């Protein structure tokens, strides 16, 4: 058994290398929250279809002048 036969011969079912995007198959930038299992690029392109709404929070701080 040479090196090429042994390398990655055992199926990996744990760790970051075992999970890929369900849309494009990319293993990088994976969003696993809520069971999405899609990469961030696919999430951005399909977020509205999935039902996510972009919410933007703005905080306005009032300055209090002390005399």
The pLDDT of residue 11 is 76
**What are the residue boundaries of the structural domains of the chain, listed by start?**
3-50
What's the CA gap between 60 and 58, in Å, rounded? 6
Per cent of the chain over pLDDT 90 is: 52
What's the CA gap between 44 and 53, in Å, rounded? 11
pTM as predicted: 0.65
Superfamily of domain 3-50: Ribosomal Protein S14/S29 (4.10.830.10)
Q: What SS3 state is found at 44?
A: helix
Q: Is 25 left (phi over 0), alpha (psi -120 to 50) or beta?
A: left
Q: Is 59 left (phi over 0), alpha (psi -120 to 50) or beta?
A: beta
pLDDT band, residue 43 (cuts 50/70/90)? very high
């Amino acid at each position: 058994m040479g090196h090429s036969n042994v390398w990655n011969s055992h199926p990996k079912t744990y760790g970051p290398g075992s999970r890929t995007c369900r849309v494009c198959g990319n293993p990088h930038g994976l969003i696993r929250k809520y069971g999405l299992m899609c990469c961030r690029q696919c999430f951005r392109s399909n977020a509205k279809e999935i039902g996510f709404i972009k919410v933007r929070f703005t905080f306005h701080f009032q300055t209090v002048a002390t005399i």
